[in-house]
Structure 1
Amino acid sequence: MYDYFLGGTTNFPADRESAGKAMAAFPAVLVAARTNRQFMHRSVRRLAQLGMRQFLDVGTGIPTSPNLHEIAQETAPDARVVYTDNDPIVLTHAQALLRSTPEGRTAYAQCDAQHPELLLSAREVRETLDLERPVALSLIALLHFVPGERAAHDIVEHFKQALPSGSTLTVSHVTPDFDPGALARALEAYDAAGTPVQARTREEFTRFFDGWELLDPGVTVTHRWRPDTERDLSQVTDAEAACYAAVARKP
């Protein structure tokens, strides 16, 4: 569904049918998805500019170009990137995509985010990244697919404790704070498709970063996180974006 919202070609009739229902319930879902994607691009580029050279993208989904490794390696050609997901369809498409990347700098591991200890010990992660050095962890549009406050926060806390000082955490997450009625209707479409989503408030979202130092501009809506131009900022409303975003660094 996300690939379809982004204008990609790696989607299937069932995806398009479910996406259509979500769009009927919440027409801004296209804007929300694309605004979230643009946040990913900007945050990765910013972290590469700040010197980050290792990226771990958990819950990457179907690879839609330009993907994280393309953005990171455009700024820093020596950047190393590992994608993870638990979907075998993602694995198939990721393997095809990674054939064109520099050998040893980009990898894919089939792992479940709900088992972070297994994810961090995966061969592809260990062979590509040095987990004794700072890692830029991305949980982009992932945690709202993890129901229950304790489960989602336990996952994040495991990653936060395992990664070394200087590592960063990038998260975007659906919120009901701006148009709860419309968002609830969209989430019903996801639930009917077998993919429950739990939206979280600003307070609930901010808790993911406890103990880490938020980078400027802190917790904000996806399109307000370091926009490239004022025009980019003015073309999207908070209700359309419908997602919070933030990046933080481990002291």
Structure 2
Amino acid sequence: MNLVQEGLALGIPAPDPDAHERPSAARIYRMWFGAEDAVPADQDLARKILNAFPREPAAAKINRSHHLLITETLAARGIAQFLDLGCGYALPRPQGGGDLLFAQNTHDVAQQHWRCATVVYADIDHDVVACQRSLLASAPTASRPTAVLADVTDMAHLLSRLEADGQLTRERPVAVLLHDVLPWIPDDAQAQESVAYLRTWLPPGSALSITHATPDFSPTWVKRVQDVYDDAGIAFRPRDRQSISNLFGDWADLYGGPVRMVPTARHQTRHQFSAVPDYISAAYASVAVKQPTS
């Protein structure tokens, strides 16, 4: 079964053959890290985003740094199963050396702590999954990561499939990474229902890490970016503090107490951009843990 057939079996439409003539948020994200293979439509939209919010590349790097730091933190705390939802493309390696930080992947970090860590990448974009599978086919790892085609708004189908295929087990905690994913689900009820199902399914000790764009720190600039995406036909839904906090239900913060809502650059003390103003993050980061039932 090829990737298109796999998607159709899951209810995910086949990719439009003209998709590369329209901009892609996933491809544009790679541009902020130096990717040079963007199509003209991506380049045009990227210029408009920069005009609306010149610090967008910095916000992307803040998000990616947090992703790698929290993966390391959760692995160091003993979690050896990771589900990277809305994983996006692997990021390009810098030409001629330079900082290789952003070229790391979730499995690179997790398997530094657990050589046989299970890592599942999931995305709804056929091209993203194809690229991830090509990359992972040659990954020199003890436990080969996998990439699956999935719609995170159909969380029940995704999780039952991963469990049935033996890709994840509910006998051990799972770390779920939902980083810069939910803003691309514009329906508030749909986003809440998907995450609520995820929380119910996950076993005790599991962690849920979310980063989410917000207008709370820079409402004018974030609204401008939202308008740019809307004009391009791409749904983008930043949310406020309370809306994002509701995604965690009654789970406790990773560090104890109620879930903290922190600008992404300041969530982890070792974040390389922790001193930047909050408006550059333009997003909240929160990490919560499922407590055992009494």
Deviation at 1:93, TM superposition (A): 0.7
Q: Distance in 2 between matches of 1:98 and 1:199?
A: 32
Unaligned runs of at least 5 residues, structure 1: none
Deviation at 1:47, TM superposition (A): 0.2
Asked whether 1:152 is paired with 2:184, we answer no
Q: Which residue of 1 aligns with 2:261?
A: 219
The SS at the match of 1:211 is coil
User: Between the two proteins, what is the percent identity of the paired residues?
Assistant: 34
Q: Distance in 1 between matches of 2:162 and 2:283?
A: 33
Which whole-Å deviations, capped at 9, do the CAs of 1:123-144 have from their partners, x for residues lacking one? 5983322133211011110011
Q: Distance in 2 between matches of 1:240 and 1:103?
A: 38
Kindly tell me: are residues 38 and 10 of structure 1, through their superposed partners in 2, closer, same or farther at Cα, counting changes over 3 Å? farther
Q: Structure 2: which amino acid aligns with 1:114? A: T
Q: Which residue of 1 aligns with 2:98?
A: none
Moved over 6 A (4+): none
* TM-score after normalising by structure 2: 0.80
Q: Which residue of 1 aligns with 2:146?
A: 107
Q: Distance in 2 between matches of 1:24 and 1:190?
A: 13
The correspondence for 1:189, drawn from 228, 238, 241, is 228
Asked whether 1:242 is paired with 2:282, we answer yes
Which whole-Å deviations, capped at 9, do the CAs of 1:70-100 have from their partners, x for residues lacking one? 1111232221100000101102211111012
Q: Structure 1: which amino acid aligns with 2:262? A: T
CA contact (8 A) 1:104 1:128 kept: no
Kindly tell me: are residues 182 and 83 of structure 1, through their superposed partners in 2, closer, same or farther at Cα, counting changes over 3 Å? same
Asked whether 1:78 is paired with 2:79, we answer no
Q: Which residue of 1 aligns with 2:21?
A: none
CA contact (8 A) 1:132 1:163 kept: no
CA contact (8 A) 1:112 1:119 kept: yes
Q: Structure 2: which amino acid aligns with 1:247? A: V
Asked whether 1:13 is paired with 2:29, we answer no
Which whole-Å deviations, capped at 9, do the CAs of 1:105-152 have from their partners, x for residues lacking one? 300010111101111133598332213321101111001111122111
The SS at the match of 1:121 is helix
Q: Which residue of 2 aligns with 1:97?
A: 135
* TM-score after normalising by structure 1: 0.93
C-alpha RMSD over aligned residues = 1.8
Asked whether 1:26 is paired with 2:53, we answer yes
Q: Structure 1: which amino acid aligns with 2:115? A: P
Kindly tell me: are residues 44 and 215 of structure 1, through their superposed partners in 2, closer, same or farther at Cα, counting changes over 3 Å? same
Q: Structure 2: which amino acid aligns with 1:86? A: I
CA contact (8 A) 1:109 1:122 kept: no
Deviation at 1:181, TM superposition (A): 0.8
Q: Structure 1: which amino acid aligns with 2:66? A: F
CA contact (8 A) 1:60 1:84 kept: yes
Kindly tell me: are residues 222 and 123 of structure 1, through their superposed partners in 2, closer, same or farther at Cα, counting changes over 3 Å? closer
Q: Distance in 1 between matches of 2:36 and 2:80?
A: 30
Deviation at 1:219, TM superposition (A): 1.8
The SS at the match of 2:83 is strand
The correspondence for 1:43, drawn from 70, 88, 91, is 70
Kindly tell me: are residues 103 and 13 of structure 1, through their superposed partners in 2, closer, same or farther at Cα, counting changes over 3 Å? farther
Q: Which has the larger radius of gyration?
A: 2
Unaligned runs of at least 5 residues, structure 2: 1-27, 92-102
Q: Structure 2: which amino acid aligns with 1:60? A: C
The SS at the match of 1:114 is coil
CA contact (8 A) 1:22 1:187 kept: no
Q: Structure 2: which amino acid aligns with 1:224? A: R
Kindly tell me: are residues 103 and 193 of structure 1, through their superposed partners in 2, closer, same or farther at Cα, counting changes over 3 Å? farther
Which structure would you say has the larger RCO, counting Cα contacts within 8 Å and 6 or more residues apart?
1
